Structure 1
Amino acid sequence: MSGRVHLTMHGQVAQVTLSHPGKFNAMSRAMWRELKAVFEDLQGRADIRCVIVAGESGHFCAGGDIAEYPDFRFDEVALRAFHEDEVWGGLGAMLACDLPLLAQIEGNCMGAGVEMASCCDIRVASAGARFGAPIAKLGFPMAPREAALVAREAGAATAREMLLEAAVFDATEMKARGFLNTVLPDGTLTSAVLARAQRIVALSPQAARLNKQALRATQGAAAPTGDGAFRYADSAEHREGITAFLAKRPAVF
């Protein structure tokens, strides 16, 4: 099973749920494509006033589905297409959505999870949530536009620690650093986020869309991707990092 992105409705609130059982909702390629399709659909809907983005079974998203990586990551053209078309296709659709987006974060929020949370307007987490992007252990960097997104939302210092030290932070620390709006006791997150969404629903939908557009305009364009950004595709460290992870052994760089 390659995972799914589910769309459910609570009146005028849409909930987008990441579901990949047994993998802490790690994003497969199919899920990235579904994420794009879901948000492109939501952008055109007049009956929805707010979107909650959540994960299934106690976790937000543990990153990418590494089991798929050997199929494409070691070829530069395929790697670029994955990040620019599939991953950024999903993230870009979230960023372009004029509806208010609430991130409901619990458990693991790693790599792709941090990226998707960074696309949301308001981020609420349970006390037990954990945040990071320890992909240096896998021998590859975060793609340029994704790194720029995380640095903008989480802060450059936090992004550097996540990417250069493989640092993992708890929810309290991420709130102190300005990434999270609210941290709640475990077990109270779902009802609190839905109540917050309902408060947004009661406000002007036109104002929400115009505010989203204005705020997006202040952020400027995302960082461009350099021609050599994915030349590491066939490198020894890239292969070793992913091979070691799949073999459940420490990588030797």
Structure 2
Amino acid sequence: MSGRVHLAIEHTLARVTLSHPGKFNAMSRAMWRELKTVFVELQARTDVRCVIVVGESGHFCAGGDIAEYPGFRFVEAALRDFHEDDVWGGLGAMLACDVPLLAQIEGNCMGAGVEIASCCDIRVAASGARFGAPIAKLGFPMAPREAALVAREAGIATAREMLLEATVFDAAEMKARGFLNTVLPDGTLTPAVLARAQRISALSPQAARLNKQALRATQGSTAAEGEGAYRYADSAEHREGIAAFIAKRSPVF
């Protein structure tokens, strides 16, 4: 099973659920493509006033589905297509969506999870949530536009610690660093996020869309693909990191 991105709409509220059972909702290629489809649809709708983005079964998203990686990551052109078309297709559609996006974060929020949360306007987390992007352990970097997005939303110092030290932060620390708007006790998140979404939905939808457009204009564009960003595709460290993860052993770099 490659996972799914589910869209449910009730009245003026939409819920986008990341679902990949047994993998803490890690993002597969199919899920990235579904994410784009879902947010293109939401952008086109006029009846939706707020979107909650949530993971299934107590976790937000644990990163990418590494089991898929040997099938495409070791060829530069295929690796570029994955990041620039699949991943950025989903993230870009979220960033272009003028409907307010509210992230409901529990459990693991790693790598791709941090990137998806970074696309949301308001981020609310349970106290037990954990955040990071420890992909240096897997022998590869974060793609340029994805790194720029995380650095912009989480702060450059936090991005450096996540990527260079493989640091994992708790929710309280991410709140202190400005990434999270609110941290709540475990088990209390769902009703609190719903109440917040309902408050947003009761306000002017036109004002919300125009405010998002204005705020987006102040941020400028996210950095485009750097020259040679995916030349590491066939490198020994890239292959070793992914092979070690799949084999459940420590990598040897």
| Shorter-chain TM-score above 0.5 | yes
Q: Indicate the residue corresponding to 2:199 in structure 1.
A: 199
For 1:8, give the aligned amino acid. Answer: A
Identity of aligned residues (%): 85
Matches within 5 A, 1:39-188: 39-188=39-188
Q: Distance in 2 between matches of 1:244 and 1:123?
A: 33
Query: Structure 1 stretches (4+) deviating beyond 3 angstroms?
Result: none
Aligned residue type for 1:231: R
**Could you give the per-residue CA deviations for residues 83-137 of structure 1, whole angstroms, max 9, x where no partner exists?**
0000000000000000000000000000000000000000000000000000000
Q: Which residue does 2:16 correspond to in 1?
A: 16
Partner of residue 26, structure 1: 26
For the residue of structure 1 that corresponds to 2:5, the secondary structure is strand
TM-score (normalised: structure 1): 1.00
SS for the counterpart of 1:208 is helix
Measured in 2, the distance between the counterparts of 1:11 and 1:241 equals 46
> 1:216, 1:226 → 2: CA distance?
22
| Alignment-mate amino acid for residue 211 of structure 1 | N
Contiguous gaps of at least 5 residues in structure 2: none
In the alignment of these two chains, the number of paired residues is 253
- Give ranges in structure 1 of 5+ residues lacking alignment: none
Shift of 1:226: 1.6
Coordinate RMSD, CA, aligned: 0.4
How far is the alpha carbon of 1:9 from its aligned partner?
1.9
Could you tell which deviates more after superposition, 6-15 or 242-251? 6-15
What is the identity, as a one-letter code, of the residue corresponding to 1:224? Answer: A
User: Matched residues in 1 for 2:147 and 2:242: separation?
Assistant: 20
Q: What SS does the corresponding residue of 2:142 show, helix, strand or coil?
A: coil
SS at match of 1:212: helix
Aligned-partner SS, 2:78: helix
The residue type equivalent to 1:92 in the other structure is G
- Measure, in 2, the Cα distance between the counterparts of 1:30 and 1:219: 29
Deviation at 1:227, TM superposition (A): 2.1
Deviation per residue, 1:133-153 (Å, 9 max, x gap):
000000000000000000000
Shift of 1:224: 1.7
